[in-house]
Structure 1
Amino acid sequence: MFIGIYSLAFVLGALWLLQQPVLPEMCWAIGLIPVGCTAFMLARCKFRFALLASRCLWWVVMLMAGFFWTALSAQSRLADELPHAWEGQDIAVVGVVTELPQVTSVNVRFRFKVEQVLTPNAIIPTHIQLAWYRDNRYQEGNLPEVMAGERWQLVVRLKRPHGNINPHVADYEAKLLERNVRAVGYIRRAESNSRLAVLEHHPNYFFERKRAEIRNLFRHYLADYPYAGVLIALVVGDQRSIPVEQWDTFIHTGTSHLMAISGSHITLVAGLVAFMAYWIWQRAGLALWLPARKFALLCGLIVALGYALLAGFAVPVRRALFMMCVIVVAFWGNQRVHALSVLGWVLLLVVVLDPWAVIAPGFWLSFAAVALICLVVSGRVGQPGTIIGWLRIQWAITLGLFPLLLILFQQISLISPVANAVAIPIITLIIVPLSLLATIPGLEFLLLVAHPVLQITMECLHWLGELPLATWQQHTPPLWAVIVAIIGVVWLLLPGGPGLGITAGFPARWLGILMGIPLFFSVLEKPAEGELWVSVLDVGQGLSVVLRTRHHTMLYDTGPKYSNGDSGKYVILPFMRGEGIRTLDKIIISHADSDHSGGTLSVLAGMPTKELLMSAATEHPIRQAITDNHDCVAGTAWWWDGVRFEILHPQVADFSPLQKRDSNAMSCVLKVTTPHGSILLPGDIDRKTEADLLQRASDLLAANVLIVPHHGSRSSSSPAFVQRVNPDYAIFTVGYRSRFGHPHTEVTARYQAQGSLLQRSDHDGAILLRFARKRIEIGTWRALHRRFWHDQYK
């Protein structure tokens, strides 16, 4: 039991370090020595108080050990970085493709280990991530074939790890750090780009090549089948082969864990092999030389190791494999083991070997699920049958993971028990075995058996996911409510008498339910009457602004499309979920350019919206997606909770077919005025439109906050416009190292000369403003949520 508590302390220490804005000085780790010695001496005393003090001190030692062990790992990883001076420079390198490449319609992406830098004086990290895009040399269907284990000479252009930073949105820079990717970039067109060698039998790349071979085999046999990607993910762990719409089905039904090669898959494969090995060993009469059970367990462990390497060795796989190792070693040594003790040792081993595992949500969900199973199974005698026991486990996992799912994803599936009851037996007992057998030469036809079964299962899951109230979504609960709810879950699931009743056995277990209530009913702060909260989201090269009053919420623009999705799906909707926004009263799309409208369809699909204003043709797909849509026309104005909103541009005449104006010039210009200050959102208007506004609406342009037109392009922000608006804060929404050169130095200098305080989304992340108490409060998410792996721009 105590190893589990100490392991948890080590993990919490690692997690604590990952919340720090700067890395600590390692010299402080020396303090662990006297504390550890004190704990050791107290443990030798026979007094109860001394023993209790010793255990508390050992818990502190393990907490600080996890903290400093992770700090040491972080220092080593961060030391391998790309200097700012070499960002955007062409660099010739020689290295090896280290993982299964991901092929899309426009590029092939892969991780690359740099072995040699050919460009004189260039300094780049050892581990980088590259994309090879189509160009005139590689036309449709002719992207270069890149395989793991190949050594290439390439000319690359790199940049430091950088991601959009927003509240309630996953930190992309943390994900890159977890994967030990210290620079990202793309391959430049060059005659010297060439394959030098194939390290086919190298132990580091052998299984990655096998994964690629199996993926190609499945794609060949299931070329026109819709769920080929799911079968690929179940066998080789390539989850990126699953289309987005199928992932949505798994998320809505709470079955996405089945797409990660988990402990159940590893255990199934190992168990089948162990059973066969046991039967053969017994029939061969070799049990007198070596007990059949020991031989069977060893065979199962070897196969489990091979499957784990084939699956990419993710955290859930490592957890299952290490647990098997501990159990097999204990059995060979004729030792009895306790399930929670095994889990504690494995938890410690996983984090010691990879402290960055605690960043991954799968780490917490995987270990929490197994801990819940151990809690439910242990201490219960006389289970009324396997079906009841299985139902108890499913109920415990569903209930027990609620707190983690809400703080990690702000949503839970209410129909997951039913969906899992359907999917788990079919996928685990039928689809996975058939798919694995299909990797054996001559048995590929089994894929044509597995796919129809999977298709029927997916249709059932899709129907369940479309049911009303299939998913519960809410704001991110406070940390204290999550901790209280976890304690309540443990209290509720403590060993009791037979049956499913929550009042059976251990007394007052119903109190656990009460402890979960704050999780769902914590009160969020809201703007007061006359106040305005503005969140300028960091969506890269684009724009998206959320404006909130006391009882209303509006979205101005929805950011760009990405190569694998859009900002609506990956930034705006998670932000709104985390903030507890369930309905949009209005969306304004300033103009139809994709960097301002790219996420609109995702937002409309994921968030009930009452009205859309847009300066685009009525047949535009965005306008067709919502019934209540109107032209964004100057003169339109409304009041929300003591705050005035007014459209300043374009005019009705600008919509005439005779007017040939580009989309930037048609941008919706919005002025919002509160008793505490005002903000102007001009979209991508150009200097000509600025001059028009200065002529006909000059008295309305002055504002305390300005979202700088056209991301700081030289085509906007004329001196007269800047002088008339005269903003206290000028906010530039730009992408990191924008290929357009935004913002232009001439424009930033103009605002500085005007006395404006400049904010940039690429440096500051999301910019959060509150118009309240007769002033404007401003904060940036990079400053408020600073972590030691973030670049220090200011």
Structure 2
Amino acid sequence: MRCAILAFVAGACWLQTRAELPAPEHIASAVVIALLLCALRRHGANILGAALLGASWAAVLAHLAIADALPREMEGRDVAIIGTVDSLPHEFEGGSRFNVRVERILTPGASVPRTIAVSWYGQVAPAGGAREPVQPGERWQLVVRLQRPHGNANPYGFDYEAWLLEQGVRATGYVRPAGPRNQRLDGFVPRFGHVVERARAALRRHILQQLEGKRYAGVIVALVIGDQRGIPQSDWDVFNRTGISHLVSISGLHITMVAGLAAWAISYLWRRSFFIDGAALPLTLPAQKAAALAGALVALLYVLLAGFGVPAQRTFYMLAAVAAALWFGRVVALSHVLCLALAVVVLIDPWAVLGAGFWLSFGAVAVILYANLGRVQIETGWRRTLAVAARTQYAVTIGLVPLTMLLFSQVSVASPVANAIAIPVISLLVTPLALLGAMLPAPLAGPVLGLAHLAVELLADALALLAASPLAVLNAPAPQPWVFLLALSGTAWMLAPRGWPHRWAGLAAWMPMLTQLPTAPPAGSFTVTAFDVGQGMALLVETRGHRLLYDAGPQYAPGADAAGRILLPYLRGRGIGKLDALVVSHSDVDHAGGARTLLGGVKVAQVHSSLAAGHPVVRAARRHSRCTSEQEWNWDGVRFEMLGPAPPSYDEPGLKANARSCVLRVSAAGRAMLLAADIEAAQEAQLLQHAQGRLQADVLLAPHHGSGTSSTAAFLAAVAPTVGIFQVGYRNRYRHPKKEVYERYGSRGIRRLRTDESGAVVLAFGRQIEVSEYRAGRRRYWHGQ
């Protein structure tokens, strides 16, 4: 059974790597072949049949999910709908975001998916009074403007489109300010999911009211209902660097603990029911069965409050399987229980295999089971408990290193120490207090929740000291497949049962993984990566021994920007821990929005910008210099020339930020790229006058994202590019690139690449220019659907 389940999961994983879904007739044929193979009752045939069934099952669910799509002609149109709030709303400054389950479409001829995700900015009461929070289960009439699922596509980045598909969300958008047409119709629509989400909302509101103004209130909320959106990125950085982020949520450990306490309490009371007249409960139902049922039900309740995430699901299914075995008097191996939980998770949600939590959750349990094979316990009492806990922590720490490096390109060296402190504090003190405080009424909840918060605060202060050390985290490039498999075999060797020869030698298999260096182009050539950051700019220029980032992308919302979401994960994935230079072309938020986050996340030797002296980015820089047309330097046979702005422009206080953009030309071996930021026609004319002989470039970063005020015919003639890069957001409100400008490039035979369509674009400049598009090279069936 275990091999068949693993094959089923492997088939589902294979399906999630496909660029296109198999046709329905091919799926039907695969199912028939799979059933015939399974009927042969031969091990190899059964394994192959299970794999075919896994791929077929995932394909069927994918077809059903994608079929519920927003028609392209409906994008950008106002549509009136009636629906219910189907998720726990995320409140942010100036609005909220939530899922809507569409019940009726009021606009004639319109078509909308069953589930959509919308943001409501500046929501007010119908009478124009104070803002009314949206609550789960409410029925609303809304006017919405939608678009098909679309996310930024970059190496080592988060696949937002896959996440939306897993959530069943097939369109995103926002609520239009339509006055009385946006109105609440019902205060609550009774459905099971609505009851759960309303309960979660009530608990969150209760906790936040009792901990108003407290820094770590979001952590307490996460421990009670699994909503982690209230934890700021700065705190996540500390938790990740110390390796305790798995504790700052409803983890399997917490669910098991709560279920165990419930089972123990029921067992204790059940066995003593003889003292209650007429209530000899053990004679009706054995105490063990009652305890198992109680533990499973409490675990289910906690998992529902947790939002039914994969780690919580895995824990519940394992506990339920153990409870069922006890109830029916069966003896099952824990490996069978783990595989059964694995099968149920993938059956319900075949897209779960795309998430890091899936692999870390099941991987951790698998490591614990493997590491305890052949272990004979001779200790008793607290010594045995301490020995088991220490061995388990050692096994998980060692066992997950290759997987952590593969998923995050870093491993926390401080994790063993941090977890030794954090596990007992969070699991035995904070979580029980948080749960108790969440259930108590207001007069009693405050002190209990306050005590839980104090414990988190003290723990966070200690963790911050650990995280501050440069040795807290080991970074390396994401391992190649063969390097990962080698490290995995070494890990299995190190965790093998006692008696296995030279277990320490398994560490040698880690060396290729831990000693990898970032790739780099040959001397005398360079590569440029134009990231897909939405409506903004960010490009990484690499030579043999140096790296320069041109602009840092936009800020999306308070505390969220392109550096945190895209640039830093990419640099970690490549194993790049230092930038030799950062050029911030000008102060517009779509170019400078991620600069401070970037400076806080990676070492930057030098910042060049046109920013004012008091700008926060200038203050945060180690070294700063103004961009001027007089600057130039050489790295590894590659020439960098700053063509603008002219020094006198800094003495013109009324000049727009766009007009003072840093214009950079990078060239080597007769090939060049011109990075023109947001210059407009006037600045293009100045460049034609003062830098006429230095403008020619094979690749042009379209000025001002292809706006109608730039890319004049004379400028394009002088640059004479063969490739034009447009860094633009999908369906951006500026409608960049403008149609006439885009056609101007096309009329000159220039190859046009848009990051909203191509994803990240990588250009390798050597004797020839090699261009690769991330979406084309890593296309999945849900992209663009």
TM-score interval, smaller chain:
over 0.9
Within the alignment, does 1:312 sit opposite 2:307 as a pair?
yes
Within the alignment, does 1:358 sit opposite 2:378 as a pair?
no
Instruction: Choose 63-72 or 540-549, whichever is displaced more.
Output: 63-72
Corresponding residue of 1:518? 512
CA contact (8 A) 2:152 2:534 kept: yes
Q: What is the deviation of 1:619?
A: 1.7
Partners of 1:139 and 1:538 in 2: CA distance: 42
Amino acid at match of 2:298: V
Corresponding residue of 2:206? 217
Corresponding residue of 1:299? 294
CA contact (8 A) 2:608 2:625 kept: yes
Corresponding residue SS for 1:366 = helix
Within the alignment, does 1:95 sit opposite 2:83 as a pair?
yes
Corresponding residue SS for 1:287 = helix
Corresponding residue of 1:582? 577
116, 140, 145: which one pairs with 2:104? Answer: 116
CA contact (8 A) 2:30 2:53 kept: no
Q: What is the deviation of 1:39?
A: 5.4
1:232/1:523 CA distance change after superposition, 3 Å = closer
Partners of 2:496 and 2:46 in 1: CA distance: 26
Corresponding residue SS for 2:641 = strand
Corresponding residue of 2:11? 13
Within the alignment, does 1:400 sit opposite 2:402 as a pair?
no
Partners of 1:761 and 1:179 in 2: CA distance: 25
CA contact (8 A) 1:131 1:186 kept: yes
Within the alignment, does 1:279 sit opposite 2:268 as a pair?
yes
Instruction: Choose 402-411 or 703-712, whichever is displaced more.
Output: 402-411
Within the alignment, does 1:476 sit opposite 2:464 as a pair?
no
- 1:271-670 equivalences under 5 Å are 271-285=260-274, 286-384=281-379, 385-442=384-441, 443-444=444-445, 445-496=447-498, 505-522=499-516, 524-563=518-557, 564-656=559-651, 658=652, 660-670=654-664
Q: Deviations over 1:14-65 (max 9, x none)?
A: 1111111111124334245446545543x4xxxxxxxxxx222222222221
Q: What is the deviation of 1:468?
A: 2.7
Partners of 1:367 and 1:642 in 2: CA distance: 49
CA contact (8 A) 2:438 2:449 kept: no
Q: Deviations over 1:179-238 (max 9, x none)?
A: 111110000011211111133542221111011111111111110221111111100111
Amino acid at match of 1:376: A
1:73/1:214 CA distance change after superposition, 3 Å = same
CA contact (8 A) 1:478 1:522 kept: no
User: RMSD between aligned alpha carbons?
Assistant: 1.7
Partners of 2:644 and 2:110 in 1: CA distance: 50
Q: Deviations over 1:636-656 (max 9, x none)?
A: 111111111101111111111
Amino acid at match of 2:115: H
Amino acid at match of 2:117: Q
Instruction: Choose 272-281 or 89-98, whichever is displaced more.
Output: 272-281
Partners of 1:307 and 1:698 in 2: CA distance: 68
Amino acid at match of 1:578: G
Amino acid at match of 1:448: G
Partners of 1:448 and 1:553 in 2: CA distance: 47
Corresponding residue of 2:784? 791
Corresponding residue of 1:698? 692
Amino acid at match of 1:615: S
Corresponding residue of 2:770? 777
169, 176, 192: which one pairs with 2:157? Answer: 169
Structure 2 residue runs without a partner (length 5+): 275-280
Partners of 1:244 and 1:4 in 2: CA distance: 40
Q: What is the deviation of 1:490?
A: 2.2
Partners of 1:337 and 1:136 in 2: CA distance: 57
CA contact (8 A) 1:82 1:160 kept: yes
CA contact (8 A) 2:136 2:194 kept: yes
Partners of 1:536 and 1:267 in 2: CA distance: 46
CA contact (8 A) 1:200 1:209 kept: no
1:329/1:174 CA distance change after superposition, 3 Å = same
Corresponding residue of 2:278? none
Within the alignment, does 1:234 sit opposite 2:223 as a pair?
yes
Amino acid at match of 2:163: K
CA contact (8 A) 1:529 1:550 kept: yes
Q: Deviations over 1:88-112 (max 9, x none)?
A: 1000001111111110112101011
Amino acid at match of 1:426: V
Corresponding residue SS for 1:540 = coil
Partners of 2:616 and 2:415 in 1: CA distance: 34
CA contact (8 A) 1:108 1:143 kept: no
Amino acid at match of 2:390: L
Amino acid at match of 1:248: D
Q: Deviations over 1:134-179 (max 9, x none)?
A: 1687999933321111111100000111111111111111111111
1:222/1:660 CA distance change after superposition, 3 Å = same
Q: Deviations over 1:236-290 (max 9, x none)?
A: 1111011221111111110000122111111111111111111111111221221
Amino acid at match of 2:18: Q
Amino acid at match of 2:6: L
CA contact (8 A) 2:409 2:575 kept: no
Q: Deviations over 1:572-622 (max 9, x none)?
A: 111112122221111111111111111111111111111111112222111
Corresponding residue SS for 1:379 = coil
CA contact (8 A) 1:383 1:389 kept: no
Partners of 1:647 and 1:465 in 2: CA distance: 38
Structure 1 residue runs without a partner (length 5+): 44-53, 497-504
1:138/1:490 CA distance change after superposition, 3 Å = farther
Corresponding residue of 2:25? 27
1:31/1:572 CA distance change after superposition, 3 Å = closer
Q: What is the deviation of 1:687?
A: 0.5
Instruction: Choose 757-766 or 60-69, whichever is displaced more.
Output: 60-69
Corresponding residue of 1:501? none
Within the alignment, does 1:749 sit opposite 2:751 as a pair?
no
235, 248, 254: which one pairs with 1:246? Answer: 235
Corresponding residue of 2:68? 80
1:383/1:494 CA distance change after superposition, 3 Å = farther
Corresponding residue of 2:119? 131
CA contact (8 A) 1:4 1:343 kept: no
TM score, norm. by length of structure 2:
0.95
Corresponding residue of 1:46? none
Partners of 2:706 and 2:291 in 1: CA distance: 68
Amino acid at match of 2:527: W
Corresponding residue of 1:49? none
CA contact (8 A) 1:97 1:150 kept: yes
Instruction: Choose 190-199 or 200-209, whichever is displaced more.
Output: 200-209
CA contact (8 A) 1:584 1:609 kept: yes
Within the alignment, does 1:270 sit opposite 2:251 as a pair?
no
Partners of 1:487 and 1:118 in 2: CA distance: 59
Within the alignment, does 1:765 sit opposite 2:759 as a pair?
yes
CA contact (8 A) 2:367 2:396 kept: yes
| Identity level (%) | 42
Q: What is the deviation of 1:728?
A: 0.1
TM score, norm. by length of structure 1:
0.94
Amino acid at match of 1:403: P
Q: Deviations over 1:299-357 (max 9, x none)?
A: 11111111111111111111111111111111111111101111011101110111111
Partners of 2:439 and 2:673 in 1: CA distance: 64
Q: Deviations over 1:513-555 (max 9, x none)?
A: 2222222234554211111100001110000010001011001
Q: What is the deviation of 1:494?
A: 2.1
